[in-house]
Structure formats: C-alpha cells, structure tokens
Amino acid sequence: METHPLLRYVATQLAESHESHDWYAYLADARVVMEATAEWIEALYRDAQADVLSEDCYITAHYLRGILDGSYPGTAG
C-alpha cells in the first residue's frame, strides 16, 4: 500500500520547512499534525453540536484518522 497523498503532502511541507527533500523523515511528524487537526475538527463539531462523522464535510476527523490507521481504502498510515 502507498502512503496517502494528504499524509505525504503534510510530510513534504514539513520537510520543505526544514529545507529538506526527505519527506519520509517527516512522516511521523505529519501524523502528529494530522491527529492534532482531527482533534481540532472534533472540538469544532462538539462546539457546534454537529455530527463528527458527517459526510457533508470532505475532511472529517474520521477521514483523517482513517488515513492514519490505514483503514482508508488503498492506503497505509
């Protein structure tokens, strides 16, 4: 399985911010960023009293965690 494009994008952005081209070295940090983002999304939904698993929003906490745990189809966290 391949690394999900969003996870790779975040790792690449982190690598570039450190003037590196080795995105893979930043994969663990990218996972931390995405988990924090998922937690932030959950907090927003809680505050709005909305459904955290809503499919109305493309990027949901469920989607981000699916990338991280490898349950998103065709990807490995």
Q: Given this model, what pLDDT does residue 74 score?
A: 66
Q: What is the mean pLDDT of residues 29-56?
A: 78
Confidence of residue 54 (pLDDT cuts 50, 70, 90): low
Q: What distance lies between CA 40 and its chain's CA centroid? A: 12
Distance CA 54, CA 50 (A): 8
Q: What is the mean pLDDT of residues 29-57?
A: 77
Average pLDDT, the chain: 83
Q: Given this model, what pLDDT does residue 47 score?
A: 67
Question: Would you give the end-to-end CA distance of the chain in angstroms?
Answer: 9
Among residues 49, 44, 74, which one has the least CA distance to residue 59?
Answer: 44
Residue 52, phi then psi, degrees to nearest 5 = -65, -20
pLDDT at 56 over 70: no
pTM score = 0.70
